[in-house]
A = this chain, B = another copy of it.
């Protein structure tokens, strides 16, 4: 059972300072559609800011209850996966309530990290299928080190060893789910 969480805090800016980033509409849409495609159980949008939580709720409601979903039922189906929470603890509690298991947290980063987990390795582990896992993504310039340090595993950068490594988090999430759950056709 795999979940995705997009964190808007604690993440870093280009200068490496810890910030709260603003929610981007297309992060909600694109990652919800990818999550639905690959059979992910839920997509947590994580921000401590109440106003930002309300903005995301309005967006989701437009597709779930409002006119959007009638015009585009596929989008409604993806939006059903979105859950809005204030922090990682709430993510873990929600997954525990749904699955009965305390989830393992796997963080993603574009930075080198000692002891990083390979994509193939986590793919095999997820296939073995014990317990639940949450894949963590950071907005802005990525997850703060505090998240990497406290997670159960940190994945290797998506194209480790290439000279350019500045993917949008939307692109990183798409590639990550394909690597971990894709059908390899």
**How many residues of A are counted as interface, with CB atoms below 8 angstroms from the partner's CB atoms?**
40
**Is B119 within 8 A of A164, CB to CB?**
no
Query: How many copies of the chain does the oligomer comprise?
Result: 2
Contact with B along A7-46 (1 / 0, CB 8 A): 0000000100000000000100110011011110000000
Q: Which of A139-183 contact B (CB under 8 A)?
A: 156, 158-162, 164-168, 170-172, 174-175, 178-179, 182-183
**Is A159 within 8 A of B183, CB to CB?**
yes
**Is A185 within 8 A of B77, CB to CB?**
no
List the B side residues contacting A125 at CB < 8 Å: none
Task: Tell me, yes or no, whether A118 is within 8 Å of chain B by CB.
Answer: yes
List the B side residues contacting A179 at CB < 8 Å: 178, 182
Also in contact, A34 and B171, with CB within 8 A (given A120-B185, A182-B159): yes
Task: Tell me, yes or no, whether A78 is within 8 Å of chain B by CB.
Answer: yes
Contact with B along A88-128 (1 / 0, CB 8 A): 00000000000000000000000000000011100000000
**Is B77 within 8 A of A164, CB to CB?**
yes
For A121, the closest partner residue in chain B by CB is B185
Among B166, B174, B185, which residue has its beta carbon within 8 angstroms of that of A160? B185
CA of A2 to CA of B24, assembled, Å: 31
Return the 7 tightest CB-CB contacts between A and B, nearest first.
Answer: A171-B174, A74-B166, A174-B174, A30-B168, A175-B178, A36-B164, A34-B171
* Chain A residues at the B interface, C-beta cutoff of 8 Å: 14, 26, 29-30, 33-34, 36-39, 72, 74-75, 77-78, 118-120, 156, 158-162, 164-168, 170-172, 174-175, 178-179, 182-185
